[in-house]
A and B are shown apart, each in its own frame.
Chain A
Amino acid sequence: MIQGIDSPIEKRNSGMGRPNGILTFGTSLNVRQRKLLEALPEFDSRVIVPRNSVNMKDLSALTAMTGDEFAMFTGGGRRLVIRGNYYMVNVSPEEAADLAAKGYKWSGHTHPGYDRWCLTPSQGDKDILKAFDQELSVVYNSMGQYRTFEKE
Chain B
Amino acid sequence: MRIPDHFVEWSDEIKAYCESNGLSFEKARKMSRGFDRTSVLLGYYDPNKKSNGLLDDTPMPAVLLISKEPDGSLKFEQTEHTKKYLT
Contacts and interface: CB of A to CB of B under 8 A. Distances in A.
Interface string B2-38: 1100000000000000000000000000001111100
Nearest to B65: A116
A92 B62 CA distance: 23
Contacts, number: 107
* Chain A interface mostly: mixed
B58 A87 contact: yes
Given A119-B34, A145-B36, A148-B35, A91 B55 contact: yes
The contact size tier of chain A is 35 or more
A121 B54 contact: no
Given A84-B57, A93-B53, A117-B62, A123 B41 contact: no
A93 B36 CA distance: 26
Interface in A65-98: 69, 71, 84, 87-93, 95-96
Interface of B: 2-3, 32-36, 39, 41, 43, 45-46, 49, 51-60, 62, 65
Interface of A: 69, 71, 84, 87-93, 95-96, 109, 111, 116-128, 131, 136, 139, 145-150
**CB-CB nearest 7 A-B residue pairs:** A120-B59, A89-B54, A124-B51, A149-B34, A91-B54, A123-B51, A147-B34
